Amino acid sequence: MTIGGWIGFAFFALMILVGGLGIAFIWDNVPAQIVTTLATFLVIVGIFFGFRWYYANTASGQRALVDERSELNNGLDRIVTVYTADGDIIAQYEGQIDIEDNSGGYVVFDFEGKRYMYYNCFVESIADIA
């Protein structure tokens, strides 16, 4: 799970735990307290496995994991090729590269301690996400 996923799980688990145990201790009936406590823990376990399923089995969950790994490791192992409008190769870079998102008609990335900016070109990035 991502760091945000763990924080979300902890928040939901804490809220359910406080609510469930609060309800359990309001009742005077011991079997009802036991059942409520067990149900609370089963719901928390279910939420945990739901979060795990989301990050392991959905495309958006897997993208979140790759994005976080890229952010924490200062990029991914990539091959970046920069082309002119005619299709000629301007430059090619291979290694751990962090590409920034932008919508200004240019691409920015960091490679081996240097920042590269290319304007009015086409960029192909192939990342090793395995």
Identify the pLDDT of residue 16. Answer: 94
CA distance 109 to 99: 4
For residues 99-116, average pLDDT: 83
DSSP secondary structure string for all residues of the chain: --HHHHHHHHHHHHHHHHHHHHHHHH---HHHHHHHHHHHHHHHHHHHHHHHHHHHHSHHHHHHHHHHHHHHTTSEEEEEEEE-TTS-EEEEEEEEEEEEP--SSEEEEEETTEEEEEES-EEEEEE---
Identify the pLDDT of residue 76. Answer: 84
Taking CA atoms, 96 is separated from 73, 80, 111, in Å, by 9, 10, 7
Decide if pLDDT at 104 tops 80.
Answer: no
pLDDT tens digits, 20-67: 988 888 888 888 888 888 999 999 999 999 999 999 999 999 989 988
Average pLDDT, the chain: 89
**pTM of the entire predicted model:** 0.69
Task: Strand 106-111: give its sheet, edge to edge.
Answer: 114-119, 106-111, 89-100, 76-83, 122-127
Reported as a pLDDT band with limits 50, 70 and 90, residue 6 is very high
